[in-house]
Amino acid sequence: MVIYKEALTHSSVGEYNSFQSDEIHFSNERLEFLGDAILDAVIAEVLFNRFPKRDEGFLTEMRTRIVNREQMSDLAKKMGLLEYMNVKDELKRNRSAMKSIGGNALEALIGAIYLDRGYKKAQWFIIHRLVNQYLDIDKLMSTAVSYKAVFMKWAQKQQYKINWIHEFDETKKDDRHQVTLEVEGEIWFTESNKSRKKAEELCSEKACRKLELNTGIS
């Protein structure tokens, strides 16, 4: 079907559809956007049911460990998805680029399944083909990751100036600590939490995902 061909078509070889007035680009980017949202929802439900006594912070961290860029790229490789990708030849020789391309294609494939077969089938694919077949959730639980440490190591290597802006609101019961991450004077992310350290970690986590840094999760 065309939609699956689209899911496996990278933007480097995508073509514009001249039959549309707004010239929609034929590549997997839109399907990736859709698949990412569906993946987040299904994984959230899986974790919610599997860990009925764990708090929101734990569930959020576990979901991040499952759907992060490195994990999705690894899953795409295990499934052999890259062998079916339509991508420029020069990119095929770039291992770093192909890792990212594979993870994006997997999310696009989920989006394609959803549009073709509906939510239940997409949910079945994520649970049975990804989680049950390739993921070890217990192992992920024991993998301690400091996103701040990974991010700060990157910043030091790049010789970038990092600034943490901390605000404390005594009137709030929860999320009293608001932390803003500045990189070279530019605001990147702002997060609030009961713990200042956790707010900094949440900002760092987003920074790692933005930069597609290797956090050591495999």
Q: Residue 118: how many CB atoms within 10 A of its CB?
A: 10
**36 in active site:** yes
Catalytic entry in 6, 32, 36, 61: 36
**107 in active site:** yes
CB neighbour list of residue 51: distance below 8 Å, 6 or more residues apart? 58, 59, 62
**Which class for 137: exposed (0-12), middle (13-18), buried (19 or more C-beta within 10 A)?**
middle
Catalytic entry in 107, 191, 200, 205: 107
Give catalytic residues, as residue numbers. Answer: 36, 107
